[in-house]
Structure 1
């Protein structure tokens, strides 16, 4: 069980070497939710993630002999880059084991920080087994991504910074994967302000920590945009800290995570990965829980694949009615398509794509069908366009 003194000691070690990230109020998010929302922008770290804190604190606690031998870590993402980056700055040899299927961009970023990357195993469990074998064989120090007291203490420094800037916070909302971040945050927050509420957030398809706290069989599987917290097996040490110091764990669904990622981009003009947006997703899903309170959200990281981000943005625009796709049956005569596009032109829609089907056997011989995708200003504008098409004699169906 780590204590507030451990987190304060970590803060003293990290202060000369780590960036103090912004902790700012979001006026728009506050208006939307009815809470006074403050955002801790950990995506402003050099590697765009809070993981640097725990990695650096662990590295700084090593003896000279341990630093000379080097360290080993297993990670497919932010922990890998945090260890590699700070090990290079400290002159510590680092070996990072990553699953064989890790995206090339993550592998190359880790190598660019000076680490030796070993690709091994098809799963995180297999990669972890290889990392432990290398650690033992070479006499290295293994840096666990979350289940380590020094790592937890390092992550907890984010809460000290938040409460130093805003001492009267009512609640801090934190993403949970293996539990390293929230263990440190809860320890620091409760140590400074015993009455503060610490709330954890997990993706609904990976509720492993919530299962552990309830002494239920662990669950976790499926696709989530919150890869950073898609952890099947939470830490043993972190589970005990969370059981003692975290007030509640909430689950959020994929549409809520997607909406939160998009909202950070649209409102705060900042990039959040799925795990980093989980606290905002919880706030949006449970506004009544936080209304009228001063709430700190930890935006834990911004390392999201650009293609996934583009898809999330498009899907959110569709949810908001700002991108609409209609399927419209037409009589197969000249001018039918022109009449549809004229309505869209007259009502200020911007056409993105048209698919015109005339030879599908599912259609009558004298009938055609179009699927037309267009941009609108907002949902009401989209409804106005659909009504106008109906008034013009068409039968549009929203796809």
Structure 2
């Protein structure tokens, strides 16, 4: 365990949670987020997987089904926490509105928050957004601006729009309020399985794993948190190795939800650097295999980002033998075109 964590724990125990000292996300903040959003989000099931448990000797393996979450993704948790806080702090936010940026799932979440809480939110999305997410956004009356081929460029454009129009920017990950909302998944995991040993989380910008890890490490430092990224887009992994946020161009990946760069000075870098125990990288073929596995064995659809954490487990099972492991299935928003290709490819292998 890092010295950073022990020092953070000491500050928490002493009641000093000043964000001026560090980008700190506390258990208390995440508990407050749960109370704030509980009427807007779904408590998703922690499903036992007999198939994975049997394959991984003497183990019990569970899937946290955020693919069954409203809007088909965990992102709704962070979006609702942030928009609720904006409404608490600014009586005119329903008139002024806000702006955000996303590869799709955060856009869906912000649109849902907009529709339910009455705060207009313009969302910048990359031009290569998946067809499934784009279609659903249009159906939900999203206010969209398409910009660039990478989420980092859409984020930069959205921040510029925020500054020019003097309205709040809702980051998909670079915000402790958003990460606190995502951290409510950690609360549910710990309540359902308090003796969990490992949690595998897909990583893009780091808001999901940052929130989950901050909560789990706060209640039990012995829980191991694994960050999982596709080899084709592993910016956070490379940044942690380098000791600072770097730019690395992303390749084509099934995991479009985790693809792209990380904003400079993102609060999630410190969360990942200090709370994530291990990193696992996943090949595209194993992401596809994981998606097919969920369809054939659990009869559930997952998107590429969820296939990253599941694929990471399936290709590294030996190190989880004899333990209780939770795999985060972060979303279900995958296009039918991609799904058909994966099914065809996997079934051809069987034949």
Give the TM-score of the pair, scaled to structure 1. 0.77
Aligned match of 2:40: 17
Aligned match of 2:18: none
Match of 1:188 among 196, 200, 215: 215
CA distance in 2, matches of 1:175, 1:105: 20
Conserved 8 A contact 1:211-1:218: no
Aligned match of 2:83: 59
Aligned match of 2:25: 2
Conserved 8 A contact 2:51-2:297: yes
CA distance in 2, matches of 1:119, 1:291: 45
Match of 2:197 among 170, 186, 197: 170
Match of 1:124 among 142, 151, 154: 151
Matched, 1:274 2:304: yes
Q: Structure 1 143/174 Cα, relative in aligned 2: closer, same or farther at 3 Å?
A: same
Matched, 1:307 2:337: yes
SS in 2 for 1:238: helix
Matched, 1:73 2:100: yes
Q: Tell me which protein shows more strand as a share of its residues.
A: 1
CA distance in 2, matches of 1:297, 1:105: 24
RMSD across aligned positions (CA): 1.6
SS in 1 for 2:238: helix
Aligned match of 2:4: none
Conserved 8 A contact 1:210-1:249: yes
Q: Structure 1 32/246 Cα, relative in aligned 2: closer, same or farther at 3 Å?
A: same
Match of 1:238 among 268, 272, 276: 268
CA distance in 2, matches of 1:135, 1:224: 30
Conserved 8 A contact 1:93-1:115: no
Aligned match of 1:318: 348
Aligned match of 1:200: 227
- How many pairs were matched up? 321
Give the TM-score of the pair, scaled to structure 2. 0.87
SS in 2 for 1:224: coil
- Give how far 1:100 is off: 3.6
Unaligned runs of 5+ in 2: 1-23
- Give how far 1:105 is off: 4.4
Q: Structure 1 137/265 Cα, relative in aligned 2: closer, same or farther at 3 Å?
A: same
Q: Structure 1 126/201 Cα, relative in aligned 2: closer, same or farther at 3 Å?
A: closer
Aligned match of 2:248: 219
Matched, 1:297 2:317: no
Conserved 8 A contact 1:73-1:131: yes
CA distance in 2, matches of 1:169, 1:124: 33
CA distance in 1, matches of 2:41, 2:53: 29
CA deviations on 1:240-281 (whole Å, 9 max, x unpaired) are 011111101111111111111110110000001111121111
CA distance in 1, matches of 2:228, 2:101: 24
CA distance in 2, matches of 1:218, 1:86: 31
CA distance in 1, matches of 2:64, 2:260: 23
SS in 2 for 1:2: coil
CA distance in 1, matches of 2:155, 2:82: 18
CA distance in 1, matches of 2:38, 2:335: 30
Q: Structure 1 126/284 Cα, relative in aligned 2: closer, same or farther at 3 Å?
A: closer
Q: Tell me which protein shows more helix as a share of its residues.
A: 2
- Give how far 1:221 is off: 2.4
Matched, 1:45 2:69: yes
Match of 1:285 among 292, 315, 318: 315
> Which of 46-55 and 129-138 deviates more?
129-138
Which stretches of structure 1, 4 residues or longer, exceed 4 Å deviation after superposition?
none
